[in-house]
C-alpha cells in the first residue's frame, strides 16, 4: 500500500468526531507516526472511526510510512470497527479476508462486503479502496493468484517474477497453491521451475501444507514432481502423519503408493498409526489405519507393545527380532538371535531389523545385529540402507556405529541421494564430519546434479553449509541448470546460507539462463544479499541470455530498494537488453510505476528510445497504465 493510498483511505470521508481532527491533520501532512499517537487512545476507548483509521495504518504495505506493519493488530481493529457497524471498516475488512490476511473474523469476504453495502458503502464509494489498491510487488500478486488458483494471472505474473521467488516468510507461490488446494496452479508453477521441496520460515514444504489440508489432487502433483514424501516438519511430522491427522484417506493412499515411511515417528514419538488410532469414531481413521497396517505400520499407543504382541495386527509381518529392534530391547534381541532368528529377515517392504534399529537410534541393538551377521547394504523398497535410515533421523551415534562397521558412505539412498546429501539438506552438521572421514565424496551429486553443498544452501542450513566448505566442498560446482550453491541460495531466499557462501567466491558463475547470483538476488528484491554480493565484488553488469543486467531485472520486477543499491554501487543506469530497453523502459513495460519513479530520481534519461524507437513516454501511453504515465509526466 502506498503512502498516498494510506492517506486517501483515511481522508476519503469527513467525520463529525472533533477528537479525530488532530489525527486527520497529521494524515493530511503524511505524519503517520503522529496520527498513530492520536488514534491509539481513541481506538482503545472504543471509537470505531479511530479503530478503522489505526487498522488501515497497520495493514502491510509496499511503501514505508514510518510505522511497522502489524497484520494481526490491523485485523483486530478492523474487525472491532466493522462490528460497530462501521461501513468503511467492513469494506476494508472484506479485502483483507479475501486476501487471506485476516482469516479469523467470523465472516467471509462476501459477508463483510454485503455488510458494508447494507450500511450505504459500496464499490462506488471505494475509490481508492483496499480491494483496488495497486500491488507494486509482483511476487505478492503471484502468491495471491496461486492461493486463489487464478491460472491466467499466474501465467501473466510468471513473466515478471520467478516461480522460485520467496517473500520474507520464505513462502513461495507453490506453498500458496498447495495451501489453497489448487492442483492446476501447483502444476503450472512446477513447470516454471518452482522448488518442490522448498521450506518456508516455519519449516514446511508445499507437501506439508497440502497434506494438512488432505488435498489429494495437490499431493499427487507434488509427488509426481519428486517431492519428498518423508520430509519432517518442525515438529517431526511427515506428510503421511499430517494427512492422517487431516482425515484424508485419499491423501494417505497416495503417499503410501509413493513409498511414504510408515514407521517414522514425530517429536512425541508417535507414528502415523498412532495418530489414526487416536482419531474419533466419526472419522475415516479405521480405513486409514487398515491402509497403514497393510504397509506394515506399527504404533506405540495400542494396548500392548510387549513381545506377546507377535502375531497381532500391531506388528503384522514383523518377527520377534524386529519388534525388539523397534523397542530397543537388547535382551530380547539377543534372545531372538540366540534362538536362531534370521538377522536379515525382511517384512513386505524389505525392512530388516537392522534398519528398524538404525532408524530408531538403538545403537546397542544395531551393534548386536551386525555382529550376528546383519547385512549393512540391504535396501528396503524405498531405496534406503540402514545408514540412510539413520542419517534421515539424525541418529548420530548410530550413524558412527554403522560407519565403523563398514557401511558404505557413498551408497545412494532413496531419491538417488548419497548419505552426505541427506545430512546436508536436513542441516545435520554433526554428521558431515564422520561421513567425510568415512570416505563420503564431498561433491557427489544427486539425480538433479545437486551436491551436498547445494542442498544445504537450498534448505538454508547455514552451519551445514559452513561445515561442507570447511571439508572442501567446491562452491563452483553447478547443477543441471548451471546454478552454484550461492545461486541456489539466492534464488530460494536462503539468506543464512547465502551469507556463508558470499565469501567462498563463485560470484561470477552464471546459470544456463545467464543469471548470476547477483541477478537472482536483484530480481527477487533481496536488498541485504544484493548489498553483500556487491561488497564482495559480484559483477554488476553481467548480462543474462536476454541481455538483462541485474539492474534491468530489478527494474522489471519493481524492486525499488535494490535499484538504489545497484546504482549507488555504480551499475549502469542506461544499460540495454536485447530489445534495446534501459532499466527505465523495462520498468515501464512491466507497469512498475514505483520503480520508474525511483529510476528517474536516480538520474535515468527518459528520452532514450529502444530498438523499436519507442521512448518511455511512448511505451506508457501504449500500455495505458495511468500510474506509470503520471510518473513520466512528473505528477
Cell of 537: 565484488
pLDDT at 290: 84
Domain ranges (residues) in the chain: 3-125, 138-307, 409-506, 510-635
Over the stretch 133-177, which tens digit does the pLDDT of each residue have? 333 468 888 988 898 888 888 988 888 888 988 877 788 999 999
Cell of 621: 501511453
pLDDT at 31: 65
CA-CA distance, 40 to 26, in Å (whole number)?
14
Class at the top of the CATH hierarchy for domain 138-307 = mainly alpha
Cell of 273: 498409526
Task: Pick the more confident residue, 475 or 494.
Answer: 475
* Burial (CB count <10 Å: 0-12, 13-18, 19+), residue 406: exposed
Q: What is the largest CA-CA distance in the chain?
A: 91
pLDDT at 634: 79
Pure H helices in 268-373:
272-278, 285-294, 320-327, 330-338, 353-360, 363-371
DSSP readout, 354-389? HHHHHHHT-HHHHHHHHHTT--TT---TTS--HHHH
pLDDT at 433: 92
Q: Are 374 and 354 in contact (CB under 8 A)?
A: yes
Over the stretch 192-206, which tens digit does the pLDDT of each residue have? 999 999 988 778 899
How long, in residues, is the chain? 635
CATH number for the segment(s) 409-506: 1.25.40.20
Q: What is the mean pLDDT of the chain?
A: 83
Give the pLDDT band of residue 65 (cuts 50, 70, 90): low
* Long-range pairs, 229-234, Cβ under 8 A, ≥24: 229/255, 229/258, 229/259, 229/260, 229/261, 230/260, 230/261, 230/264, 230/382, 230/392, 230/414, 231/197, 231/205, 231/207, 232/264, 232/266, 233/202, 233/203, 233/204, 233/205, 233/208, 234/202, 234/203, 234/204
Class at the top of the CATH hierarchy for domain 510-635 = mainly alpha
Cell of 213: 489440508
DSSP readout, 39-67? HHHHHHTT-HHHHHHHHHHHS--SS--SS
- Helix (H), strand (E) at residue 404: helix 396-404
Across the strands, what pairs with 417?
413
Give the pLDDT band of residue 124 (cuts 50, 70, 90): very low
Count Cβ atoms below 10 Å from residue 470 Cβ, excluding itself.
Answer: 11
Range picked from 21-25, 159-163, 389-393, 398-402 for highest mean pLDDT: 398-402
Sign of CA dihedral 520, 523, 529, 532: positive
Hey, what CATH topology would domain 3-125 get? Answer: 1.25.40
pLDDT at 494: 83
Q: Are 110 and 117 in contact (CB under 8 A)?
A: no
Across the strands, what pairs with 413?
417
Which of 336-350, 351-365, 395-409, 460-474 has the weakest average pLDDT?
A: 336-350
Q: Which residue has the cell 517431492?
A: 227
Amino acid at each position: 500500500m502506498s503512502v498516498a493510498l494510506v492517506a486517501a483511505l483515511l481522508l476519503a470521508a469527513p467525520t463529525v468526531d472533533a477528537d479525530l481532527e488532530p489525527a486527520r491533520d497529521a494524515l493530511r501532512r503524511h505524519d503517520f507516526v503522529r496520527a498513530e499517537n492520536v488514534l491509539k487512545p481513541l481506538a482503545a476507548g472504543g471509537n470505531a472511526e479511530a479503530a478503522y483509521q489505526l487498522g488501515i495504518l497497520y495493514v502491510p504495505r509496499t511503501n514505508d510510512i514510518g510505522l511497522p506493519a502489524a497484520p494481526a493488530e490491523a485485523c483486530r481493529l478492523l474487525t472491532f470497527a466493522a462490528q460497530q457497524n462501521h461501513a468503511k471498516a467492513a469494506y476494508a475488512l472484506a479485502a483483507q479476508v479475501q486476501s487471506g490476511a485476516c482469516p479469523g473474523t467470523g465472516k467471509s469476504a462476501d459477508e463483510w462486503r454485503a455488510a458494508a453495502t447494507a450500511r450505504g458503502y459500496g464499490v462506488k464509494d471505494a475509490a481508492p479502496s483496499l480491494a483496488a489498491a495497486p500491488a507494486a510487488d509482483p511476487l505478492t500478486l503471484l502468491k495471491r493468484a496461486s492461493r486463489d488458483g487464478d491460472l491466467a494471472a499466474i501465467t501473466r505474473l510468471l513473466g515478471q517474477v520467478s516461480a522460485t521467488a520467496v517473500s520474507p516468510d520464505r513462502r513461495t507461490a507453490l506453498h500458496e497453491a498447495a495451501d489453497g488446494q489448487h492442483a492446476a496452479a501447483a502444476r503450472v508453477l512446477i513447470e516454471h521451475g518452482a522448488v518442490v521441496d522448498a521450506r518456508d520460515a516455519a519449516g514446511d514444504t508445499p507437501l506439508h501444507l497440502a497434506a494438512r489440508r488432505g488435498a489429494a489432487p495437490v499431493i499427487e502433483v507434488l509427488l509426481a514432481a519428486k517431492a519428498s514424501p518423508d520430509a519432517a516438519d518442525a515438529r517431526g511430522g511427515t506428510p503421511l502423519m499430517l494427512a492422517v491427522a487431516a482425515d484424508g484417506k485419499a491423501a494417505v493412499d497416495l503417499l503410501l503408493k509413493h513409498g511414504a515411511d510408515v514407521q517414522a515417528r514425530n517429536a512425541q514419538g508417535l507414528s502415523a498409526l498412532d495418530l489414526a488410532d487416536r482419531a474419533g469414531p466419526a472419522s475415516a481413521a479405521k480405513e486409514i489405519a487398515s491402509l497403514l497396517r497393510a504397509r506394515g505400520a506399527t504404533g506405540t499407543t495400542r494396548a500392548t507393545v510387549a513381545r506377546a504382541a507377535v502375531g497381532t495386527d500391531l506388528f503384522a509381518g514383523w518377527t520377534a527380532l524386529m519388534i525388539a529392534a523397534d523397542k530397543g530391547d537388547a535382551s530380547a534381541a539377543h534372545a531372538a538371535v540366540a534362538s536362531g532368528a534370521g538377522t536379515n529377515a525382511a517384512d513386505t517392504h524389505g525392512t530388516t531389523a537392522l534398519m528398524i534399529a538404525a532408524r530408531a537410534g538403538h545403537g546397542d541393538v544395531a551393534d548386536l545385529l551386525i555382529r550376528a551377521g546383519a547385512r549393512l547394504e540391504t535396501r528396503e523398497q524405498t531405496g534406503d540402507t540402514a545408514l540412510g535410515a539413520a542419517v534421515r533421523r539424525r541418529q548420530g551415534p548410530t550413524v558412527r556405529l554403522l560407519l565403523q562397521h563398514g557401511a558404505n558412505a557413498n551408497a545412494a539412498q532413496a531419491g538417488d541421494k548419497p548419505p552426505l546429501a541427506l545430512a546436508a539438506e536436513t542441516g545435520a552438521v554433526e554428521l558431515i564430519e564422520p561421513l567425510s572421514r568415512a570416505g563420503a565424496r564431498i561433491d557427489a551429486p544427486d539425480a538433479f546434479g545437486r551436491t551436498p553443498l547445494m542442498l544445504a544452501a537450498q534448505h538454508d542450513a547455514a552451519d551445514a553449509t559452513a561445515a561442507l566448505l570447511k571439508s572442501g566442498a567446491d562452491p563452483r560446482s553447478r547443477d543441471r541448470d548451471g546454478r552454484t550453491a550461492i545461486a541456489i541460495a539466492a534464488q530460494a531466499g536462503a539468506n543464512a546460507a547465502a551469507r556463508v557462501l558470499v565469501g567462498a567466491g563463485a560470484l561470477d558463475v552464471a546459470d544456463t539462463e545467464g543469471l548470476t547470483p547477483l541477478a537472482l538476488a536483484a530480481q527477487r528484491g533481496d536488498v541485504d544479499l544484493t548489498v553483500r554480493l556487491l561488497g564482495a565484488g559480484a559483477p554488476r553488469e553481467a548480462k543474462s541470455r536476454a541481455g538483462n543486467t541485474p539492474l534491468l531485472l530489478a527494474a522489471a520486477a519493481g524492486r525499488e530498494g535494490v535499484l538504489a543499491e545497484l546504482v549507488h554501487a555504480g551499475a549502469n543506469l542506461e544499460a540495454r537488453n536485447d530489445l534495446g530497453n534501459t532499466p527505465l523502459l523495462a520498468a515501464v513495460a512491466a507497469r512498475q510505476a514505483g520503480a520508474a519513479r525511483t529510476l528517474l530520481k536516480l538520474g535515468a534519461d527518459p528520452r532514450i528510445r529502444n530498438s523499436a524507437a519507442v521512448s518511455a513516454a511512448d511505451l506508457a501511453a501504449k500500455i495505458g497504465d495511468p500510474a506509470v504515465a503520471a510518473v513520466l509526466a512528473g505528477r
